[in-house]
Structure 1
Amino acid sequence: MQKTLNSLKLEFNSFSYFYRIILSVLAVVSLMIFIWNTCTHNVIIASLKVNYPHFEQDVFNISFPSDSEPIDTENFVTEDDPPKDEFDNDIPSEIGNHDYIVASGDTLSSILNQYGIEMPDIRQLVKADRHLYSLKIGQKFSWTLNTDSQLQRVVWEVSRRESRRYDRIQDKFKLSVLLKTGTWQRDRLTVVVNGSFINSAKLAGLSNSEISEVIKSLQWQIDFRKLRDGDYFKVLTMREMLDGQRQQSELIAVNLRSSGKNYYAIRAADGKFYDRRGSGLTSGFMRFPTIRRYRISSQFNPRRSNPVTGRIAPHKGVDFAVPIGTPIFSVGDGEVMVSKSSGAAGNYVAIRHGRQYMTRYMHLKTLLVRAGERVKRGQCIAFSGNTGRSTGPHVHFEIWINNHAVNPLTARLPCMRGISGEARQNYLDRVNEALLQFNSR
């Protein structure tokens, strides 16, 4: 050791005075960074102890990262699908298994990849119709899957007048262009809540799909399950009529009044809803449920097959190899739907965010929230563990959109971004037009 130190000293002295100064400064800066990181880590752990003094002490005895090994490929999460409530049961889907509004920067592959649709299917879709390279903001996609989790049918609403349908025939897709010949008219409906919100809306003439759109438009502002008798809302729609029959509709704007307060949602040119000032209505999400991103021990894979049985056993989330006792955070504002111990999932938490989104956190050690509790984005909801069907410490994290699991690493998450620039002025013109129609007799 002494010889090594002497050699380093001679080597250091061989440098010029200028370089010796530079090396000394770098060494001091590196030492300060190391000390700062260590103190920051201790402050985080200490703050957690202060916030949750009533939990057992060993929850803070965090294991070394080397203890966090990849999950055995035979250990699949078999927990039931996320819990549903009366709205999920009373408003069945009328347009297939899933739908999506094209946003800025979207491509066909980026839209479908987050739902686990494989590239061979996407390539076959494009072969059937090269126009799929030219998606526009605000256009709508819907699709269904077969029993093997493969695309069965895709519908692309190019405009109000034209839809394109792609049906699977073996490994290829057949294109059918559907031109609509009905006439479009703008309608205004007023719904007064009397008992069930959904029944009141149906009695006023709204269809299941229109009710679903109303709920989605204001899902971050109000809990529709808690509306009271006498609350009311006004709805503006564009409806296509053919031979006196309604063919389809598009929600334009909603004005809901509850407990003496008005809530507004107006559709912009991008197909999304904003308030009267053009501010976003959604609540933003964090990408990961931990302070930092940990190593991924198992990827999202809706078509993963069991190596023993050969049967499809989907892995509906992402496994992060985290040490036992790692704080787990809610990625967004929401309501805890489940907080319990449940078989293969171990201790787990399910949180509903608005109406479209749900997240689940599994194999936890200690649960810090209860069912029915409201949580905020970034709130610590649990500490990670190794419970349930698990061969190593980790957290299994899922994101569900419209009751369908999506890839947490690539999913298009909600954000609070509003409208700016020229688009905002165009939007405000829409707002003024909607307000005039809401207030007209």
Structure 2
Amino acid sequence: MQQIARSVAMAFNTLPRPHRVMLGSLTVVTLAVAVWRPFVYHPDGSGGTPSVIRNIELDKSELRSLLPEASEPIDQSSPEPQDDLPPDEIDQDVPSEAGTHDYVVSSGDTLSSILNQYDIDMADISALVKADKDLRALQVGQQLSWTLTDEGDLKRLTWQLNRRETRTYDRSGNGFKASTEVQKGEWSNQVLRGQLNGSFVASAQAAGLSRNEINAVIKSLQWQLDFRKLHKGDRFSVLMSREMLDGKRQQSQLAGVRLETGGKSYYAIRAEDGKFYDRSGAGLARGFMRFPTVKQYRVSSNFNLRRLNPVTGRIAPHRGVDFAMPIGTPVLAVGDGEVVVAKNGGAAGNYVAVRHGRQYMTRYMHLKKLLVKPGQKVKRGDRLALSGNTGRSTGPHLHFEIWINNQAVNPLTAKLPRMEGLTGKDRRDFLAQVREVVPQLSLNK
């Protein structure tokens, strides 16, 4: 045996140095893999060697989450977006239903592309289509809304095909049960006018608008106005299409709104695609950048609301995307907005939260240095901070999140607002509609 070992050693020593280094490294790695096995243990109480309770086999995806490149601890927790928002009377007076999201179908959308960005399981999407094959043919301007369980699973989906027909899909076992509601009321247009005397919400309610109608008005003008900074005496006019059945209001749809403040009038008019435009057909939304840096960096940990801790077996959601980047890389605002948080957030390290309009929020974590302050207005591309490795982080990276209506979405696939306008026949049809709507939005009765 000794002679064999001596022969192997002599042969090894005769190899070129690069070959010896490579062979030695491979030997060490092979031995490490052979002896390493993850396990769960607890002390046996006697001060001796801990006893093994059960072995856990990890697949490649789970193993990756434990490696340094993952850069985000598996049990990482971050502040909830509700904690980031300062007290706001509009949010308090017109609350959004928790766990519910609304979406207007755009050109090129499919049921899968819409729900995937919210990390809704493909099995649920397939089950929906199985319940109603018509969901494969969504039309521009139709509206979807859905409700999630506390665990993030799809509970109910509502599809508004048009002003009369709505289909609802409720979870039933492993599938969904479909039901259809057809309204047969009479639709008519109503103009509601008012003047600010206190908050906008109170003034709009005094003018005869419901909470849902007020919320629609706020969303339509969210990119043009800060409703918290309106003044007493500001005037507004709202064109609302309402359905009446047996003398009771059933549902309504905002057709157009005009709000005058500081001597200037702001308009939002609904087009056939369900979106709002100004009087010339230009889009009102502010465009977003896809990435919060000048160049795109490697993704070290993906968005995953169902990420499992391989040891505890519990869900530890990863609500954003991690980009591996050198410390000190400039971090940019992806869209126009207002800084609502710029502080140290414990596990999140130094972080910044920016509110865009009233539906969108972006968050940037583990920063080295903050360059903005709460309350500061920022434009798309402005520097917010320098990237770092603060908080609970296992490597230099930027953790980036996008929230829509207080729900985390995948930053790499989310449909973000963009500067857009109507063209061709769509614009001509819209301008004809404007000529009918604008005169009805007169501020004087």
Alignment TM-score, normalising by the size of structure 2: 0.82
Q: Within 1, Cα distance between the matches of 2:298 and 2:325?
A: 8
Q: CA deviation at 1:409?
A: 0.5
Letter in 1 for 2:71: I
Corresponding residue for residue 182 of structure 1: 185
Which residue matches 1:223? 226
Q: 417, 423, 432: which is aligned to 1:414?
A: 417
Partner residue of 1:291 out of 281, 290, 294:
294
Distance across 2 between alignment mates of 1:81 and 1:308: 28
Between the aligned partners of 1:295 and 1:161, the Cα distance in structure 2 is 47
Contact persistence 1:323–1:394 (CA under 8 A): yes
Structure 1 distance, partners of 2:142, 2:98, is 15
One-letter amino acid of the counterpart of residue 117, structure 2: Q
Q: SS at 1:124's partner residue?
A: helix
Q: Residues 94 and 209 of structure 1 are in contact (CA less than 8 Å); yes or no, is this contact kept in structure 2?
A: no
Match runs of 1:287-366 below 5 Å: 287-366=290-369
Moved more, 332-341 or 299-308: 299-308
* Deviations 1:332-378, CA, capped at 9 Å, x for gaps: 11000000001110000000011111100000000000000000100
Is it true that 1:70 corresponds to 2:60 in the alignment? no
Task: Give the alignment partner of residue 430 of structure 1, picking from 419, 422, 433.
Answer: 433
- After superposition, residues 24-423 of structure 1 pair within 5 angstroms as 69-82=69-82, 83-84=84-85, 85-93=88-96, 97-423=100-426
Please state how far the C-alpha of 1:306 moved relative to its aligned partner. 2.2
Q: CA deviation at 1:86?
A: 2.7
Alpha-carbon offset, residue 94 of structure 1: 5.5
Listed one character per residue, the Cα deviations across residues 215-266 of structure 1 (whole Å, up to 9, x for unaligned) are 1111111100100000011000111111221111100000110010010110
Shift of 1:73: 4.8
Q: Which letter maps to 1:231? A: D
Contact (CA 8 Å) 1:94, 1:208: kept in 2 or not?
Answer: no
Whole-angstrom CA distance in 1 between matches of 2:297 and 2:435: 48
CA contact (8 A) 2:75 2:316 kept: no
Give the 3 Å change call, closer, same or farther, for CA 95–310 of structure 1 in structure 2: closer
Conservation of the 8 A alpha-carbon contact between 2:73 and 2:393: no
TM superposition shift of 1:88: 2.0
- Per the TM alignment, residue 189 of structure 1 is displaced from its structure 2 partner at its CA by 0.2
Q: Which residue of 2 aligns with 1:12?
A: none
Does the aligned pair in 2 maintain the 1:290–1:328 contact within 8 Å? yes
Residue in 2 that maps onto 1:44: none
Unaligned runs of 5+ in 1: 1-67
Conserved 8 A contact 1:96-1:142: no
Give the corresponding residue for 1:24: none
Q: Where has structure 1 moved over 4 Å in runs of 4 or more?
A: none
Name the % identity: 61
Q: Which has the higher contact order (CA 8 A, sep 6+)?
A: 1
Shift of 1:299: 0.8
Q: Give the aligned residue type for 1:78.
A: S
Deviation at 1:273, TM superposition (A): 0.4
2:72–2:392 CA contact under 8 A, matched in 1: no
Secondary structure of the 1:132 match is helix
Query: Which has more radius of gyration?
Result: 2
| Aligned-partner Cα distance in 2 for 1:340–1:94 | 29
Secondary structure of the structure 2 residue equivalent to 1:238: strand
Structure 2 letter corresponding to 1:275: D
Conserved? CA contact 1:189–1:204, under 8 Å? yes
AA in 1 matched with 2:244 = M
Deviation at 1:320, TM superposition (A): 0.5
Alpha-carbon offset, residue 436 of structure 1: 2.0
3-state SS of the aligned residue for 2:441?
helix
Letter in 1 for 2:208: G
Q: 1:386 to 1:96 in 2, by over 3 A?
A: closer
Deviations 1:50-101 (A, max 9, x none): xxxxxxxxxxxxxxxxxx8322552423322243333222212359611000
Looking at structure 2, the residues matched to 72 and 385 of structure 1 have their Cα atoms a distance apart, in angstroms, of 13
Counterpart CA distance in 2 for 1:104 and 1:190 is: 34
Superposed CA deviations along residues 31-61 of structure 1, whole A, max 9, x for unmatched, are xxxxxxxxxxxxxxxxxxxxxxxxxxxxxxx
Q: Say if 1:79 and 1:343, in contact at 8 Å, map to a contact too.
A: no
Measured in 2, the distance between the counterparts of 1:80 and 1:172 equals 31
Q: Secondary structure at the match of 1:69?
A: helix
Amino acid of the residue matched to residue 77 of structure 2? V
| 1:69–1:393 contact (8 Å) kept in structure 2 | no
CA contact (8 A) 2:298 2:324 kept: yes
Tell me the amino acid that sits aligned with residue 283 of structure 1: R
Normalised to the residue count of structure 1, the TM-score between the two structures is 0.83
Quote how far apart the aligned CAs of 1:404 are. 1.0
* Gap change, CA 1:98 and 1:257, over 3 Å in 2: same
> What is the distance in 2 between the residues matched to 1:382 and 1:95?
31
Partner Cα distance (2:289, 2:95) in 1: 30
Aligned residue identity for 2:80 = D
Question: For the Cα contact (< 8 Å) 1:75–1:390, is it kept in 2?
Answer: no
Q: Is the 8 A contact 1:75 1:389 kept in 2?
A: no
